[in-house]
Structure 1
């Protein structure tokens, strides 16, 4: 604790001690105020400024350190100064004292709490920034909530003190007026409970509900204004029109049809979107084929001599396309029409918030869910227009294995595909402008992947910037690169046969008519929505890659549930999307799987964490399988077993991650994971072993010492003092 905090805390303790040791808490009773009322009046008549100023300062001090008695002072203020002056003095004194109390709480406790609970407080502060003034005003209007508690809690948030001040000034005014008015009749007042009768409390509660009612009326007004602007239809063809039949759009359509809403699903290209046709399914089929080639090369260490595998690339791509065809029925038009969804082919365009045009047909709908996905981003690199660029979209049309493949981008897609092509026989060069591969992961995690790629003869160039594509006189191509931070360092040309660009994805928002309707996009091009996935238009929602922030199939499905339920039932209950326990897997070898925080994020957010690490080289099953590369790293609250995040590097990391994801979602700590029986020998035992490592680091040494003495006593041994010999 800093010196400033210690001084402040000491001062508060001193004031509180003086208050109670002096007997002030016994003096500030209703009976004493009534008995001394005439004396107070005489004192005020003799020295009005002294009494008024002293009363003001005393009130501010008591409110600032949250001492009991402020209510009685309010009543006394009404008796002394009358309703008008009493209300003015007490209103400003109480607000100033409340603001000081919030400032004290902020100074003493906010920074330590933010370090320890950064993730939770970040969401709270986001809500405070958005609607904090509204909630504070509501709480101030209802005297059921102790004001000193509100002062302290709000002080721990990131609400601006000026906002806290003026909202409190207005919100506390009705309650202050009631008590000041009661003070005018101090002699007839039998108890403070009589000031706030059940009827009066009910009236305050109704006043407190007024802002909620007002907000509902404002929302209704916005909808009516929208209706006047765009001519809202009297009747609708559909409850929801979903634009895009990728993972997000399919899940949204499925959920809406399951609750018997009338749904139309519009897709301009292929059912299943990127995941089925150009992403998850084909890439994992390719990774499987490349892993088999790697296993054949590695077979000799298990006593199997197979030699160098003969790769038939056309047959490999045949396997990839076959996997897509076999999964396709799960996402087909026939399946969804069988579920009651109307599937429409074509480009969707929003004429207004309720009318979606597809060709010559106009669909009217109560809600629109935009799930139009994303496409690979191609940077404006000079010379790129002179070649046919490979991306994760068109890669699957390759008929011949590239002899020299340069991959631009060291994120998950670049690493997965680069390793796969290297295993199939391409000479791969991987270019990443950042300091490490997999920029979102911890350095030790990325280092494991980089080491494996280098072992497999992938040329890894981190900290390298691509400048331009060049063509030589014989028609060959090369990528001119330079060290990213080197300034005047020399350029180098890396020859290639094909260039694969994997530098990220950009949202598909063009052609939907959103700009004309005022639907905003963020700086990265994704659609701007709130935590319930609602856009600036009350009936237009978005989910999946088109809005981010995580371009993952399961993240899209997670969002789709929220967007659909909020659209259909948001008048009754809204659900905010939480990404706290969102898992992600990079399917390299070794796999990288993560849920929650990693060390980089914790450090960046200022969150204090405890790190427990378990090496897979210690796991029996990993030793037997020859898959000892990698580790498990779990972040917990210091001294506690609550999981803040887990990262796994190694064989089957994505499968092992599910147990940590479940634990975080359901609030299960490492102690309970340790107490769960895991089958032997399995990779899942590594989860239990990690929990055991945490437990071993927190074993109660003092209790164990006592137990050692107890068992020695039970064995009949006599303990001797080492120094005296007794």
Structure 2
């Protein structure tokens, strides 16, 4: 394949060199055509088939090699063959030549372009697959765009050859007809610029715009068709500009933006303001992680020159009160709750209703209020931001034990005087890893079971290894590659021995949850039995999609609601954001989407914006933390994106050493030979905070040189970013220039 490419490149270069060396351009000038017109006409009259064949081959080659002069050849076609035959011959010759140029660009250039710009080309290919034929047709209608540029550019995409040829054949017909017709009047042409008058150019532009206008008309027809069954109930006036369903991150931001631009907006929440993040997810888990981290530091206080709490335990003192830890979690939630409260959003101009919303038709929402009353609201637009709930797998016997999820554990565990003695965590994703480590540090004997071969499958292998080592260092028994088969319940007051036999235990005075059980797992064809007092199910989250009337009005639901790039559902006035829309189950992405949904809903008639997922950061808050933005190494390899890796070890950082946190790294993927950032993975303390600088850089197209040139406070952890940029710089030193600089300094010393 490589040798074939070299041969083709050599042939193309030879043709170009030959064309230039032999001054081939003189044959493709208006003067030469006018001088030779009579001779060509005589030759055509004497040997018509030979002239047509020769002209056809020359035209195809000139177009395939992107030689200048296609306009002259088109004029010649009109001058020699007349309008009818000239249009027929030129139309097919130009389309075939353009397709050959398209194929040459694909064969010679596409692999190297994909290697360097894989991610961007993937986005382009997605657009081409969706609308490529339409836009190619539009470009072909406007001769202001050089056709050879279109040929080469389209060759770099995954547009099908047949589609390219057919669209080119049809799209270039109008422009070809103008030039062929001009060729029939060759004696009257004084310059090529004279062929296209301003009026004619304006006509072509209008012709090119016509498909866009036609598309708008088609979209309007489709829109009317979508709403056809509801036209009889469409309100003439509306109670609200926007109704938002769900008061989590996505819903709160949507309502906030609507109120800020003085729209009349109602926010409906069936349960707690703040949604999952405030009440069950981000906030309580981070509060627990902080308490667990402090407990870990107390246990290992000798690392800081202090007395560890193990000595307090020896003295009969209990250093950790689990009940106090859980009380602190609730206190943190209560402290943050006013930020998301009914009172705050009411003061901002949002009407907040406590109740369950159901969409009756595209413009009407019925709200079952918490006081038992019902209210109907008509609205121009709706934003669905219902969030997600923990996914509970259909595991036989699971419902027979008192399992908890990341939602229910906060209330259930608040009843305990002590942390669960034996906690089994099902799931090795971010939630499972964070909670397993935290409860282990708070005194639980934790077993984590993951069906996949490693933890945190979205991260690089080395990241998974570091997190596994950290969990095991904290006493977590990590079982990867173990598939849960079933759960067996133990009778009250009993536990299981290693063989799974029930063993009666004396009752304890402290409060506890109902008896646990045994999880049966399969590993390499062998069944194992794992006893537990409490099982935490953390295998993922599923979007809340039922009960909102979506299916009743024809909006199909799967794992999420299908939306377009503007976050519109089947009905253009109904939007979905956050977990119900995907593709990321992240609070900050929900808030990010909410801006687009709210703005598009309120101002979409003037200007709409496509949701931008180009730079999405995320973090897993284990200890050490894992934070990433952009591509990981495994993703870059899977996508065929060429990259360089620059790595800085945080164990070398002064502040990390001073804090006894000297572990982890900053790993940056860049375009080969350039400082443009493709992705960053940080492992270490406060990795999520350190990542922000790289997120900013990627969002605004700043490279590592800019980060290196930024002053960072000493001594801080964020210096790791600067030193990573310095590592890249040292690897790309201009060695030849430095050799001359050395000679200069030698000369200066005499």
TM-score over 0.5 (shorter chain): yes
Q: Check conservation: 2:303, 2:660, Cα contact below 8 A.
A: no
In 2, the alpha carbon distance for the partners of 1:175 and 1:517 equals 47
Deviation at 1:211, TM superposition (A): 1.1
In 2, the alpha carbon distance for the partners of 1:372 and 1:428 equals 32
Deviation at 1:284, TM superposition (A): 0.7
Deviations 1:616-664 (A, max 9, x none): 1100111111101111101111111111111110111111111111111
- Would you say 1:527 and 2:567 are equivalent positions? no
**Structure 1 unaligned runs (5+)?**
717-726
Deviation at 1:198, TM superposition (A): 0.6
Deviation at 1:581, TM superposition (A): 1.7
**Structure 2 counterpart of 1:677, from 711, 714, 734:** 711
**Structure 2 unaligned runs (5+)?**
311-317, 369-373, 492-501, 503-514
In 2, the alpha carbon distance for the partners of 1:707 and 1:101 equals 47
The 5 A counterparts of 1:285-434 are: 285-308=287-310, 310-359=319-368, 360-397=374-411, 398=413, 399-400=415-416, 401-434=419-452
The 5 A counterparts of 1:639-654 are: 639-654=673-688
- Would you say 1:70 and 2:70 are equivalent positions? yes
**Structure 2 counterpart of 1:272, from 269, 274, 281:** 274
The 5 A counterparts of 1:673-712 are: 673-712=707-746
In 2, the alpha carbon distance for the partners of 1:693 and 1:447 equals 24
Q: Which residue of 2 aligns with 1:25?
A: 25
Q: Which residue of 2 aligns with 1:569?
A: 603
Secondary structure of 1:36 counterpart: helix
Secondary structure of 1:379 counterpart: coil
Secondary structure of 1:581 counterpart: coil
Q: Check conservation: 2:429, 2:457, Cα contact below 8 A.
A: yes
In 2, the alpha carbon distance for the partners of 1:613 and 1:110 equals 30
Secondary structure of 1:66 counterpart: coil
**Structure 1 counterpart of 2:550, from 514, 517, 523:** 514
Secondary structure of 1:668 counterpart: coil
**Structure 1 counterpart of 2:582, from 531, 548, 553:** 548
Q: Which residue of 2 aligns with 1:253?
A: 255
Q: Which residue of 2 aligns with 1:719?
A: none
In 1, the alpha carbon distance for the partners of 2:72 and 2:33 equals 8
Deviation at 1:203, TM superposition (A): 0.6
Deviation at 1:104, TM superposition (A): 0.6
Q: Which residue of 2 aligns with 1:490?
A: 526
The 5 A counterparts of 1:127-206 are: 127-206=127-206
Deviations 1:273-305 (A, max 9, x none): 000110111111111111111010010122211
Deviation at 1:226, TM superposition (A): 3.6
Would the alpha carbon gap of residues 581 and 261 (structure 1) be closer, same or farther in structure 2, given more than 3 Å must change? same
Q: Which residue of 2 aligns with 1:61?
A: 61
Deviation at 1:472, TM superposition (A): 4.7
Deviation at 1:22, TM superposition (A): 2.7
In 2, the alpha carbon distance for the partners of 1:301 and 1:439 equals 32
Q: Which residue of 2 aligns with 1:722?
A: none
Alignment size in residue pairs:
710
Q: Which residue of 2 aligns with 1:451?
A: 469
Between 1:505-514 and 1:569-578, the stretch displaced more is: 569-578
Q: Check conservation: 2:468, 2:478, Cα contact below 8 A.
A: yes
In 2, the alpha carbon distance for the partners of 1:520 and 1:128 equals 25
Secondary structure of 1:347 counterpart: strand
Between 1:230-239 and 1:272-281, the stretch displaced more is: 230-239
The 5 A counterparts of 1:100-139 are: 100-139=100-139
Deviations 1:510-533 (A, max 9, x none): 1122123332335xx111112221
In 2, the alpha carbon distance for the partners of 1:251 and 1:279 equals 18
Deviation at 1:476, TM superposition (A): 5.1
Between 1:170-179 and 1:704-713, the stretch displaced more is: 704-713
Deviation at 1:323, TM superposition (A): 0.7
In 2, the alpha carbon distance for the partners of 1:90 and 1:243 equals 59
Deviations 1:110-161 (A, max 9, x none): 1111111111111111111111111111111111100100111111111111
Secondary structure of 1:117 counterpart: helix
Deviation at 1:66, TM superposition (A): 0.4
In 2, the alpha carbon distance for the partners of 1:368 and 1:617 equals 51
- Would you say 1:658 and 2:709 are equivalent positions? no
In 2, the alpha carbon distance for the partners of 1:542 and 1:86 equals 54
Deviations 1:71-108 (A, max 9, x none): 11111111121111111111111111111111111111
Q: Which residue of 2 aligns with 1:480?
A: 520
- Would you say 1:502 and 2:538 are equivalent positions? yes
Deviation at 1:433, TM superposition (A): 1.3
In 1, the alpha carbon distance for the partners of 2:28 and 2:227 equals 59
In 1, the alpha carbon distance for the partners of 2:604 and 2:63 equals 40
Secondary structure of 1:190 counterpart: coil
Secondary structure of 1:20 counterpart: helix
Deviation at 1:212, TM superposition (A): 1.1
Q: Check conservation: 2:401, 2:489, Cα contact below 8 A.
A: no
In 2, the alpha carbon distance for the partners of 1:271 and 1:222 equals 37
Deviation at 1:227, TM superposition (A): 4.0
In 2, the alpha carbon distance for the partners of 1:326 and 1:54 equals 84
Secondary structure of 2:612 counterpart: coil
Secondary structure of 1:676 counterpart: coil
Deviation at 1:573, TM superposition (A): 2.3
Q: Check conservation: 2:455, 2:480, Cα contact below 8 A.
A: yes
Deviation at 1:225, TM superposition (A): 2.9
TM-score by length of 1: 0.96
Would the alpha carbon gap of residues 428 and 600 (structure 1) be closer, same or farther in structure 2, given more than 3 Å must change? same
Superposed CA RMSD in Å reads 1.3
Q: Which residue of 2 aligns with 1:44?
A: 44
Q: Check conservation: 2:227, 2:571, Cα contact below 8 A.
A: no
Deviations 1:456-499 (A, max 9, x none): 1100111111111123564651111112xx3xx21000101111
Secondary structure of 2:744 counterpart: helix
- Would you say 1:612 and 2:646 are equivalent positions? yes
